[in-house]
Chain A
Amino acid sequence: MTAVLTGLRAWTVQRVSAVYVLFFFLTTLVWLAVHRPVSYAQWHAWVTSGGVRPAMMLFFAALLVHAWVGLRDVLLDYVKPLLIRAAALGALALGLAGLGGWAAQILISA
């Protein structure tokens, strides 16, 4: 599991995803602030608009991949017993993948 993302790959992915996550979050924050108070109709229309929906899906993909690298680092630092660590990393991967699927489903069906 740790060999899947070699040191350099994981580090690069963490940086690249961070930049996109920050950019998208700030953009959303600014939009919310500029259009406040935001009604349901406005919010729904914006999220489902041409550019925003794929951008938000990419946001969740980047966020979950970023969380994977970060939480994996926490596990590699603190969880030593090999089996428990492998199980924890597996559970983490499944959990994050599940969250990704959920977010995708929400955005597709919105």
Chain B
Amino acid sequence: MKFLIYRYNPETGTKPHMQAYDVTLQHGDHMLLDALMRLREQDDSLAFRKSCREGVCGSDAMNINGRNWLACITPLASLKEPVTLRPLPSFPVIRDLVVDMTRFFRHYHAIRPYVIDDEPPPERERLQTPAERSELDGLYECILCACCTGFCPSYWWNPDRYLGPAALLQAMRFIADSRDRATAERLEFLDDAYRLFRCRSIMNCTEVCPKHLNPNRAIDRIRMRMLKHEI
């Protein structure tokens, strides 16, 4: 199977370039990650992140034939050759397909991804009805792989000030949580010209979420909450 892969080594100082590979797949190689591991038998200088190999850790997010997805759950049979692999768009490249996730996580931390309740804690649990818990469905499952944020044109143009779909989806996850008491502060934090409102509803995020989440809808829900809060 033929591949074209983005190569960059900061130690050699050469510019990034695409390198061609031809891999003989073995019985049992079904997913793109399998082929990449096969490739490393040929060339162990190729760098990429991987871990769970089952689509739950988010490590191997990359741009595959022009779209972001996880390598471990991309069937090889679905890919046109030469399979073109590039790092997540707009993310600083550390080496080959490994990108710097620092800014991505800074935006995640900025939305305070934890339940905030400064009241004295209850005797036992902070209770939540099944209906209240279902409000978190479609939000809690995010694995922070960055496929969405790396495919968002608004994030490409303003990666420092626009938080991006992943952080905003997580912001909604905590706004929607009945146990959280900081909704007003969360909404106020997001109400400026950049943090949330760079979103143009292009919906590239939803197209490339490997967990089939809808970050754009989460952002729309935050906007509606803000509107209700203002009125």
Q: Give the B-binding residues of A (Cβ under 8 A).
A: 2-3, 5-8, 10-12, 73, 76-78
Contact = CB atoms under 8 A, between A and B. Distances in A.
A10 B227 CA distance: 12
Interface of B: 154, 157-158, 190-198, 200, 223, 226-227, 230
Contact of B227 (A8, A76, A78): A8
A76 B192 contact: no
A74 to B, nearest CB: 10
26 contacts: A2-B192, A2-B193, A3-B192, A5-B193, A6-B191, A6-B192, A7-B190, A7-B191, A7-B193, A7-B194, A7-B195, A7-B196, A7-B197, A8-B191, A8-B197, A8-B223, A8-B226, A8-B227, A8-B230, A10-B193, A10-B197, A11-B197, A12-B227, A76-B194, A76-B198, A77-B157
Give the residue among B157, B191, B193, B198 with the most A Cβ atoms within 10 A.
Answer: B193
Contacts of A3: 192-193
Contacts of A5: 193
B191 A77 contact: no
Nearest to A76: B193
A77 B193 contact: no
